[in-house]
Amino acid sequence: MALTDTDTGRVNPLRSLFFKTTFMVAVCVILVVTIVEGMHFFAHRGELQNQITDRAEEVTRLLAMQMGGSVKFGNTDAVDQIVSGVMAAAGRDALGAMVTTRDGAPMFVTSSTGLDQDRALALSEQALETGQVAVGPDGMSVALPVTFGGEGTVVGAVVTGWTDKFRAAALIAEKAQTSLTALGVLVIALIVTGYYLLRRLTRPMLRLRNAMTQIAKGNYDRPIPHTGRRDEIGQMAQRLDEFRNSLSEASAVAVESAFRGAAFVGSSASMMMVDESGKVIFINPACQSLLQSLMPDLTTIWPGIKPDAMIGADLNGFSGLEVDLSDLSASRQTEMSARIGDRVVSIKINQASDANGHVIGAVVEWADWTEAAQRGSDQHD
């Protein structure tokens, strides 16, 4: 018959407490790190967008201030030179720029294809109508009216387009590096935690399991490990050690009782056992045979005895045998003789006590003295 894992004491590694604990630690750490890093990423992404929007407005305002005259007089080359220089200085976050006249017609557009011209025209019209800065829905496009002269006459508008993908890519790369570092720390932490759990939890539990297996087999001599620990494992080991000692003592008592019981049952002497109240709780075969041979005369002086129901009879009901078992000691016995019909019997009573000295009953030995009494009578005659 094939043995199961339970029979052999093996545990599926995926079901072991070590694996479950380590797995839960890993899941909790990964979950916490993911949530924290995700929150940081979206917070930084929002900050990046705000920074680019603020920079876009600053650069667009600078362009509007520098090319008022050029737009007023339609100097396209000057506009191209101003816009190209400023946008080049802005770096790769700037997608391009568009300059429109007072009536909203495009006057100059950078050669880059990143600028959404339809959106730029719409923002230009909005800036021309309101005379204020206009910002696109995503904050990546900004338009400002271009003024000329001391009265600030609006002569056109300038629109710039921006992107945050480069800064977002840098942020993602930074977070990826941070995540890899955190992953490395997590792996090291899991190895250390796993080693600690293996030494302080899994192996001690396996040793306690092996100790319990030995106890179940009746091997009470092997000491219980980890009884000196001051944690839960130590408490389990201490309780198991107490259990082992109790079973060991009980086993020794059981063995002793078995030998005594075998000697009592197999004895040729007629003996019975009574409890502390005097009730018969056991009769060996020799005693049962003797008492049955004394029937029915025995019932005249011991009314509680019956041939088919000797167990449970009260010895205190035996006429002439008034004995208080608590007054007896284990070191002496009480003896009397009684005539039952034409028979003479001797009755010896020895007190029985437990390990604590408490009276638990008595052993009563019966003997047929009829022949001895008859010989004594003949010699006396």
Distance CA 354, CA 258 (A): 16
Homologous superfamily of the 11-215 domain (CATH): PAS domain (3.30.450.20)
Q: Helix (H, G, I), strand (E, B), or coil: what is residue 27? A: helix
One fold for 218-266 and 267-380: no
Phi (first) and psi of residue 110, to 5 degrees: -65, 155
pTM: 0.49
pLDDT truncated to tens, each residue of the chain (381 aa)? Answer: 344 444 445 667 777 777 788 888 888 888 887 888 788 778 877 888 888 889 889 999 999 999 899 999 999 999 999 998 988 888 888 889 999 999 989 999 988 767 888 899 999 999 999 999 999 988 889 999 999 988 889 999 999 999 888 888 888 888 888 888 888 888 888 888 888 888 888 888 889 989 999 888 888 888 899 989 888 889 999 999 999 898 888 877 776 676 566 556 667 888 888 888 888 888 888 989 999 999 988 888 888 888 888 888 888 888 877 655 555 544 456 788 888 888 999 988 888 777 677 777 888 899 998 887 777 666 555
Q: For the chain, which residues make up each domain, given as ranges?
A: 11-215, 218-266, 267-380
167, 92 Cβ separation under 8 angstroms: no
- 218-266 is a CATH 1.10.8 domain: yes
From the list 368, 366, 322, 319, the residue with the least C-alpha distance to 342 is 368
Q: Around 336, how many Cα atoms within 13 Å sit in the side-chain half-sphere?
A: 12
Per CATH, the number for 267-380 is 3.30.450.20
DSSP characters over 320-365: T----GGG--TT-EEEEEEEETTEEEEEEEEEEE-TTS-EEEEEEE
